[in-house]
Structure 1
Amino acid sequence: MATTTSTTVKQRFDWAGLGWMFLFFWYFSGVTHTLIQLTGTAGFAGFRQALLVSALWLIPLLLFPARARQLAALIGIPLWLCSLSGFGYFLVYGQEFSQSVIFIMFESNVTEASEYLGHYFSWWIVLAVLAYGVGGWLLWRKVRPVYVPQPALAVTCVALFMLSLGYPALRQFTKHEEFQSALENFEERIEAATPWQLVVGYRHYRMQLANMEALLETHAQIPPLQNMRDQHAGQPATLVLVIGESTNRQRMSLYGYPRPTTPNLDKIRSELQVFDNVVTPRPYTIEALQQVLTFADQENPDLYLSTPSLVNLMKQAGYKTYWITNQQTMTKRNTMLTTFSKQADEQVYLNNNREQNASQYDGDVLEPFSKILTDDAPRKFIVVHLLGTHMRYQYRYPPEYERFTDRTGVPEHVTQDQLPTYNSYDNAVLYNDYVVSDLIERFRSTDPNGFLLYLADHGEAVFDASAPDVLGRNEAAPTGPMYTVPFFIWNAPKWTAMDVSGSLHRPYSSSHFIHTWADLAGLSFNELDLSKSLVSHQFKTRPVLVGDPEQPKGLIDFSLVKPNEVQPNTKPPASNSSEFVQKGPAAPIKAL
């Protein structure tokens, strides 16, 4: 009799129902990972991990089979919403949603995110998302109660938990002695699945933000630089650093671009020292400036936490420090850039609104800059952080700067759909030219003793010849325009400037910028490495590393790349800037 009952139970167990139930939950991670596999974007590990972790959601449905469909909807809707980030990112970039993207997403505000959405909005993406939602709904309709006999229910639930989360956790926490290390490795095992990408990303964001807040509280305790010496000690001096945003030098006529996007800078070209081979280490503002403004670099990415920043360096040298920013600031603690700005003696925050609208132009930095120039402090160090050519480009310039509106000077590969965005980026570069050149003129008018240096944090790909379909930045799929940045200096006549003519074409990473700045400013100290100074006779050529330093094997040497400085099917302008033109397609990026 017992044998007959057991056989009946086995016959009644709904394996198909269990399969539909699992397929429903796996769907929210599996679709994206299937696309990744079909396109060869990444290895099989993420697919396998998402498959296993998805088994977790079977447990509540097996425990309460009578409410299986309601529970499936209650769990499935949040999973679908969370999964849209990874699914949408793949549709746009053709890449797997990474931890770095999560970090950037949480550093962006709603308006900035909406601007990116506006750039990438396309009806086919909307249709794909709708189809993706319909697929989930159809699978939900297949969900039905699955009854597991009571003696086996507990064992089944424990097995599912161990398969999805328990075993990965147990393995990592027994393998690693340090809790933090074990936790990070465990997170790495589960982050491929929805919703753990967002959960892990948010935790890491909060952890980084806490580090920044701690740094703000303790930066004064960081030991000063040793044996500081100043070649200009006792002299009045004003040094200005202008930080651009999302500006690719390949789209500046100053560097040979055919369209006259930098007419004002072109006029004073003979007064500028223009460096044409400088590359940013990361294509994101925060990660790039963590290295540009500190002693951190790609091989030592955490030094920004324990060494003086550029602002503190200048304060130690006796300069009064100022920070003017047109970067959006919802609160003074909501972005890691605030860590650097708060170290200055005075800050000017111009963009504290929630909305990053068209009226918030970089021209707003000009009056505060002029006011600071009249400050009676004898030695001033001024940082001006621009919004530059940040997306959406049409919001970066007033209507009178919308001068590029047709196909004149536009490469043939740019489609009619791409043309408005392509033109708006050039218009943004044109307005950026006005702002930067006006800063130079206002600086010049004070008859200063010092120099002004302009450097963009990173570049931007905008349908360039080397990647005609790429818009924006993606560290997982690097292209030349994302990394090639403008770097030039205007020296005041009074300033005793060093001869840098022999260093204008050196391959250089802006991750070593602090050494170059100190050298230019006439400062020396024990920690200064002149082999990392772009303008030093002791300069040493080394690999120009780009990529995520948290994944050292993924770092690549950008100096092996020959990115297009001018689109190949256009002619360079008949000017003295043509010497910076490099024709031909970009060479492939090679891994170290």
Structure 2
Amino acid sequence: MKTDLSASSSQQLTFFDSLRQSPIRAWGSLIATMGLAVIIPMAVGFGVGLEQILTMLIMLEFAKRISYFPGVLLVLIFPIVAYLPAGITYGKLNVGVLASLMETNPLEAQEFILTIPAYCYILALMLIAAALVWFKLRSQQLFNMSKNKLFLFVFVGLFFHSAVFKFYKYAVENFSEYYEAKEVLAAAMSVEPEWHVTALQGERSDLYVVIIGESVRKDYMSVYGYPHQTTPFLNSVPGYFVDGYVSASSNTWASLPRALSLSHDNGLSIDPAHNAVTLANAAGLETYWISNQGFLGSKDTGVSIIASRSSHQIYLKKGEYNSENIDDLILLEKLKSVLGRNGGRKVIFLHMMGSHPHECQRLHDYVVNFDTPYGERFNCYLASIEKTDSFIAEAYSILQKSGKSFSLLYFSDHGMTATKESSHGYRFKHGAEYRENYDVPFLLLNSVDMEHVVEKKRLSAFNFMRFFTDWIKVKTSLLPGGYDIKAVQDDQEVSIYNFSKLVDYNSLSSQESLK
């Protein structure tokens, strides 16, 4: 029978009283409480910090003596168990992590599960076991809340400061922000863009090809100085290479829409109706979007909303449940087919899977030519960059054989973080804390280029639309002109979007590449 405890200390059993009466129960309860206090903050991305551990420890001790709350807390813990791998890998829940979880497909989910380190599964099982033991061995003596107002006040304060409450607080806030962003994107589908473009003087190409790479860090490409030869074609091909291009954000969901659309409030909000595709349409070019990223619906992601404005859309995989691991090289077959069609000047977007985790699965039959001491996943990442180099080389060859003038652009949506995975070596994951999460390649290969130029300058992806207007030789009153990529100097005050605000790029720390 449960007993209400008043404020009298003589009626309350201390840990030592419980230890004398039932040592196994007392020690089991204490160990379970400590386990929850340590693992829960880790599971929701707080890491191992004394403040949260103490907060959780005291809160859990108090919670044992409150009617019904142990059952409530037990229910609250199980979603945290499900988030544990993402929490340990990516940190606290934010809109970027939420978007990645919401917009994934079964294949990507399977690949993510396969990349989860074994210790995450062990921690998840430990968390479940600790929660069940804590609940089973909870105190049967309850506080009388009407006589312990101060206790209740302290408990509420601890709970609101705990990792449990903050996890759900972040979830509500980020769900709201995510769906608000989706509503803005969906509303853009019905907005008719008003570009009012006029032609610029200068040499125009018949074909413009935009290759959008995935998860490629610039500092792992030999064309930018990496010692392993990951880009043999790009190392010497005539073209213009920017060494210092900074992506808008650290994942596809946040980065590409901000690069490919007009942005307001210095990048905090975007105008998805006015994007690179609708600008090319307004300029009279025939637009194609050929993607290996999958298609969940024209209103489901910022990228798919931009792509839906193109004259022609080709997806190698459609629908969340039909997604599969298709080789990027199939994109080149589609490119050949498009070039065989009659028509005027074209802008063709090729959206790759590139180096997206799991890197080894991106290779298909491509041979891994690297044998570094950093493990299989690391070597696969280098090979995926070498494969991208081969992809660009083949696209370049296809364009040359077309007999038309062309300009080929390649950039990556964001970089990655290299992390040590115990004895299994290193692997790459999404991250937001390092400059290298945003340092990406940006290069132009034109049919008329005669020399290989690598130029160091700091340019922001938030100015991509200014570059794009100059590239296709148009101007519009909605954008300031004069952004010739070869002539422009460093952008001032380069910032990145960290899913909640803009952060000065220079304030970020750096992670050196592994040689």
Same fold (TM over 0.5): yes
Shift of 1:29: 7.5
Change (3 A) 1:147 1:116: closer
- Asked if 1:545 corresponds to 2:495, the answer is yes
Is the Cα contact below 8 Å between 1:461 and 1:479 reproduced in 2?
no
**Equivalent residue for 2:218?**
249
Question: Map of 1:134-149 to 2, 5 A cutoff?
Answer: 134-145=129-140
Q: After superposition, give the CA deviation of every residue in 1:56-99 in whole Å (9 maximum; x if it has no partner).
A: 9889x73xxxxx5xx845x4554222112554345445x44444
Shift of 1:369: 1.4
Q: After superposition, give the CA deviation of every residue in 1:399-451 in whole Å (9 maximum; x if it has no partner).
A: 2x12325x3xx2xxx4xxx4110111122122222222211111221122331
1:240 counterpart (209, 214, 236): 209
- Asked if 1:527 corresponds to 2:483, the answer is no
**Equivalent residue for 1:557?**
505
SS at match of 2:380: helix
1:79 counterpart (76, 99, 122): 76
Is the Cα contact below 8 Å between 2:262 and 2:271 reproduced in 1?
yes
Is the Cα contact below 8 Å between 2:240 and 2:445 reproduced in 1?
yes
User: Cα RMSD over matched residues?
Assistant: 4.3
Question: Map of 1:1-20 to 2, 5 A cutoff?
Answer: none
Change (3 A) 1:403 1:24: closer
For the residues of structure 1 that align with 2:237 and 2:102, how far apart are their CA atoms? Answer: 43
**Equivalent residue for 2:443?**
488
**Equivalent residue for 1:32?**
40
Shift of 1:522: 1.8
Which letter does structure 2 place at the counterpart of 1:294? S
For the residues of structure 2 that align with 1:478 and 1:226, how far apart are their CA atoms? Answer: 39
SS at match of 2:267: coil
Is the Cα contact below 8 Å between 1:47 and 1:192 reproduced in 2?
no
- Asked if 1:285 corresponds to 2:233, the answer is no
SS at match of 1:403: coil
Q: After superposition, give the CA deviation of every residue in 1:144-173 in whole Å (9 maximum; x if it has no partner).
A: 555676x949999997998699xx9xxxxx
**Equivalent residue for 1:457?**
413
Change (3 A) 1:209 1:90: closer
Shift of 1:518: 1.6
1:225 counterpart (188, 195, 198): 195
SS at match of 1:542: coil
SS at match of 1:447: coil
Shift of 1:38: 7.7
Is the Cα contact below 8 Å between 2:207 and 2:404 reproduced in 1?
yes
Q: After superposition, give the CA deviation of every residue in 1:123-162 in whole Å (9 maximum; x if it has no partner).
A: x33222222222212211123555676x949999997998
Which letter does structure 1 place at the counterpart of 2:504? I
**Equivalent residue for 1:111?**
107
For the residues of structure 1 that align with 2:439 and 2:6, how far apart are their CA atoms? Answer: 70
Change (3 A) 1:356 1:227: closer
Which letter does structure 1 place at the counterpart of 2:378? Y
TM-score by length of 2: 0.80
For the residues of structure 1 that align with 2:201 and 2:233, how far apart are their CA atoms? Answer: 32
Shift of 1:263: 2.9
5+ residue gaps, structure 2: 19-25
Question: Map of 1:59-458 to 2, 5 A cutoff?
Answer: 62=67, 68=68, 72-73=70-71, 75-85=72-82, 87-92=84-89, 95-122=91-118, 124-145=119-140, 152=146, 192-218=165-191, 220=192, 222=193, 224-226=194-196, 228-231=198-201, 237-266=206-235, 269-296=236-263, 299-305=266-272, 308-352=274-318, 354=321, 357-358=324-325, 360-399=326-365, 401-404=366-369, 407=371, 410=372, 414=373, 418-458=374-414
SS at match of 2:133: helix
Is the Cα contact below 8 Å between 2:290 and 2:331 reproduced in 1?
yes
Shift of 1:327: 0.1
Which letter does structure 2 place at the counterpart of 1:362? D
Is the Cα contact below 8 Å between 1:229 and 1:525 reproduced in 2?
no
Is the Cα contact below 8 Å between 1:544 and 1:559 reproduced in 2?
no
Q: After superposition, give the CA deviation of every residue in 1:502-544 in whole Å (9 maximum; x if it has no partner).
A: x82211122211111222222222233346553335x454132
Which letter does structure 1 place at the counterpart of 2:428? L
Which letter does structure 1 place at the counterpart of 2:195? L
For the residues of structure 1 that align with 2:282 and 2:82, how far apart are their CA atoms? Answer: 45
Change (3 A) 1:153 1:55: farther
Shift of 1:196: 4.1
Shift of 1:245: 0.6
Indicate the percent of aligned positions where both proteins have the same amino acid: 17
Which letter does structure 2 place at the counterpart of 1:100? G
For the residues of structure 1 that align with 2:295 and 2:5, how far apart are their CA atoms? Answer: 67
Change (3 A) 1:23 1:450: same
Is the Cα contact below 8 Å between 1:14 and 1:147 reproduced in 2?
no
Change (3 A) 1:340 1:376: same
Change (3 A) 1:540 1:462: closer
Shift of 1:330: 3.7
> How many residues are paired up?
496
For the residues of structure 2 that align with 1:51 and 1:230, how far apart are their CA atoms? Answer: 67
Change (3 A) 1:163 1:448: same
Is the Cα contact below 8 Å between 2:297 and 2:304 reproduced in 1?
no
Is the Cα contact below 8 Å between 1:245 and 1:387 reproduced in 2?
yes
For the residues of structure 2 that align with 1:199 and 1:377, how far apart are their CA atoms? Answer: 49
For the residues of structure 2 that align with 1:6 and 1:79, how far apart are their CA atoms? Answer: 26
Is the Cα contact below 8 Å between 1:461 and 1:471 reproduced in 2?
yes
For the residues of structure 2 that align with 1:56 and 1:148, how far apart are their CA atoms? Answer: 9
SS at match of 1:304: strand
SS at match of 1:273: strand
SS at match of 1:102: helix
**Equivalent residue for 1:517?**
468
For the residues of structure 1 that align with 2:47 and 2:500, how far apart are their CA atoms? Answer: 27
Which letter does structure 1 place at the counterpart of 2:289? W
For the residues of structure 1 that align with 2:308 and 2:238, how far apart are their CA atoms? Answer: 33
Which letter does structure 1 place at the counterpart of 2:408? L
Is the Cα contact below 8 Å between 2:245 and 2:442 reproduced in 1?
yes
Q: After superposition, give the CA deviation of every residue in 1:186-228 in whole Å (9 maximum; x if it has no partner).
A: xx9998534444444334333322222112222x1x4x23553
Is the Cα contact below 8 Å between 1:237 and 1:450 reproduced in 2?
yes
For the residues of structure 1 that align with 2:300 and 2:107, how far apart are their CA atoms? Answer: 14
**Equivalent residue for 2:434?**
478
For the residues of structure 2 that align with 1:390 and 1:281, how far apart are their CA atoms? Answer: 18
For the residues of structure 2 that align with 1:8 and 1:96, how far apart are their CA atoms? Answer: 38
Which letter does structure 1 place at the counterpart of 2:431? N
Shift of 1:34: 7.6
For the residues of structure 1 that align with 2:146 and 2:478, how far apart are their CA atoms? Answer: 66
Shift of 1:455: 0.8
TM-score by length of 1: 0.71
Change (3 A) 1:56 1:546: farther
SS at match of 1:381: strand
Q: Which has the higher helix share?
A: 1
Change (3 A) 1:340 1:138: same
Is the Cα contact below 8 Å between 1:280 and 1:457 reproduced in 2?
yes
For the residues of structure 1 that align with 2:302 and 2:164, how far apart are their CA atoms? Answer: 24
Is the Cα contact below 8 Å between 1:320 and 1:345 reproduced in 2?
yes
SS at match of 2:410: strand
